[in-house]
Amino acid sequence: MLSSEDISFFCVVARSRSLAQAARKMNVTAPAVTQRLRALETRVGVRLLDRSLNGITLTDEGELVLAEGQTIIDAVENLTDQLSDRTNTVRGHLQIVAPYGFGRRHIAPIVDAFSREYHEATVTLHLSDTPTRMVNDNWDIIVHIGELNSPGRLMTTLAPNRRFLVASRDYLKGKPPLRHPHDLADHRCLALRENDEDVTLWRFATAGEEQATIRIAPAMSTNDGEILRDWTLAGLGLAVRSEWDVAAHLASGALVRVLPQWNLPETNIVAFLNTRHNRSKRTSKMLEMLRKGLKPTPWLQAE
């Protein structure tokens, strides 16, 4: 009879591209993986994966074990979690995915605090440039800026997030005045091009319901928010940045808001929850800490 340890061992190996990689994942040496896998195979009497020097491929039986085994592991994890929850202790492993810049600056400290608060839990913070495209299910929470309806994913808002049109003082000097979004046509606009979205269409609206949609011609564009911000700081043009990103610079006066009465659509900070796992207490606690940690907008808390 197989044991759940055998199964989870195999699942890790099966999801690796080589035995050596699997060994690194599990912090053991390569022979350990070879031996254990071979022992497993002789025990069940059938080859589970074909080894070759350029990657491993699962046999039919391997696919079976991976698929069935994963549901078994999930069931065991759920049971363990349910027990932990009953004791009001926070345990187990939590995997968070977040965008690079935002994650490093705002999520990492919260993960730090979480880890200090709940010693028995372990956390992985995975920073990704495409956080919404996690293909495997090795995640519990994905933090994302901007609402997004992905089918099959549960979304919850963590914090509001406004976006501002900003520029450096240097840039604005001697440039034509900006009184209406239409005036942007005479300016250098810097665009953040990511997720294949239509990023050259900027939508403005005033409190008085007046609207204006401007198709900009980006003078420069990048897919890295920090670079974009740096360009803006360097006075290369106007950019739309979320308040999280530029709060400190607005406070220090390095950047100024442009067209402050014209609002851009909000892109709230949201979290996607993996529906495959039952919600565990550690997930709830982490969401709680995220909401709490993100609550005071940086615009207000900036010194």
Q: Which stretch binds DNA (CB under 7 A): 28-36, 174-182, 213-221, 229-237?
A: 28-36
In the bound state with a copy of itself, the residue whose beta carbon lies nearer, of 4 and 275, is 4
Give the CA distances from residue 74 to residues 44, 69, 235, in Å, rounded to whole numbers and listed in that order. Answer: 22, 8, 52
**Alpha-carbon torsion, ordered 33, 34, 39, 44, to 10 deg:** 90
Q: Is 4 in the site for DNA (CB under 7 A)?
A: no
Q: Is 1 in the site for DNA (CB under 7 A)?
A: no
Q: Is 25 in the site for DNA (CB under 7 A)?
A: no
Judged by beta carbon distances under 5 to 8 A according to partner kind, the member of a copy of itself, DNA, none in contact with residue 200 is none
In the bound state with DNA, the residue whose beta carbon lies nearer, of 37 and 236, is 37
In the bound state with DNA, the residue whose beta carbon lies nearer, of 65 and 271, is 65
Residues that bind a copy of itself (CB under 8 A): 1-5, 7, 44-46, 60-61, 64-65, 68-69, 71-72, 75-80, 82-84, 86-87, 89, 91-92
Give the shortest CB-62-to-DNA separation in angstroms. 13
Q: What is the DSSP string of the chain?
A: ---HHHHHHHHHHHTSSSHHHHHHHTTS-HHHHHHHHHHHHHHHTS--EEEETTEEEE-HHHHHHHHHHHHHHHHHHHHHHHHHHHTT---EEEEEEEEHHHIIIIIHHHHHHHHHH-TTEEEEEEEESSGGG--SS--SEEEEES----TT-EEEEEE---EEEEEEHHHHTTSPP-SSGGGGGGS-EEEE--TT--TTEEEEEETTS-EEEEE--EEEEES-HHHHHHHHHTTS-EEEEEHHHHHHHHHHTSEEESSTTEEPPP--EEEEE-TTSPPPHHHHHHHHHHHHHH-S-HHHH--
In the bound state with a copy of itself, the residue whose beta carbon lies nearer, of 1 and 135, is 1
Judged by beta carbon distances under 5 to 8 A according to partner kind, the member of a copy of itself, DNA, none in contact with residue 29 is DNA
Judged by beta carbon distances under 5 to 8 A according to partner kind, the member of DNA, a copy of itself, none in contact with residue 38 is DNA
Q: Which stretch binds DNA (CB under 7 A): 24-32, 126-134, 149-157, 244-252?
A: 24-32
Per rule CB under 7 A, count of chain residues that contact DNA: 25
Give the shortest CB-118-to-DNA separation in angstroms. 22
In the bound state with a copy of itself, the residue whose beta carbon lies nearer, of 28 and 75, is 75
Q: Is 79 in the site for DNA (CB under 7 A)?
A: no
Q: Which residues bind DNA (CB under 7 A)?
A: 5-6, 18-21, 26-32, 34-39, 51-56
